[in-house]
Amino acid sequence: VQCIRNLNGHSIGPYQIHAGKSVPIVKGGDTTKMEEDEMYAIETFGTTGRGYIVEDLECSHYMKNFHAPHVPLRLPRSKKLLSHINKTFGTLAFCKRWLERPDGGSAAVNGTNGKQEKYMGALKNLCDVGIIQPYPPLCD
């Protein structure tokens, strides 16, 4: 088993899973210093493969960009989906499967009236303009 060279741990902020600082798991990476009161996800990734991953296959997981620019959206479905994402997930990760549930990803927030339909074009639009970040599967 060897480390995956191009994956790192990272700093975590309030409602920001990837807060900017990296923690390499192999020698020779980023030399940024950790500071007091910062929080980190120290993630070690092992493999019996090459030790280098690439993004591949169909994407199912997404997250709103914490520093998303204000982009005027022209598509009504994109506006509706972004409103749902803001209300239901904020900047935390979500998957397409949750959007398709009757509660749209949160029964506490949406009750049984949250299911998103015909949203794929809107989701692609939100990714294309940089508001939503896709997280495709990582393959070794």
Q: CB–CB of 40/11 below 8 Å?
A: yes
Task: Tell me the pLDDT tens digit for each residue of 2-16.
Answer: 999 888 899 999 988
The pLDDT of residue 28: 78
Tell me how far apart the alpha carbons of residues 45 and 55 are, in angstroms, rounded to a whole number. Answer: 15
Task: Tell me the pLDDT tens digit for each residue of 34-84.
Answer: 999 999 999 888 899 999 999 999 999 999 999 998 999 999 999 999 999
Q: What is the DSSP string of 36-103?
A: TT-EEE----EESS-S--EE-S---EEEE-TTPPP-----HHHHHHHHHHHHHTTTS-EEHHHHTSTT
Tell how strand 22-24 and strand 8-12 pair up: antiparallel
Tell me how far apart the alpha carbons of residues 21 and 115 are, in angstroms, rounded to a whole number. Answer: 35
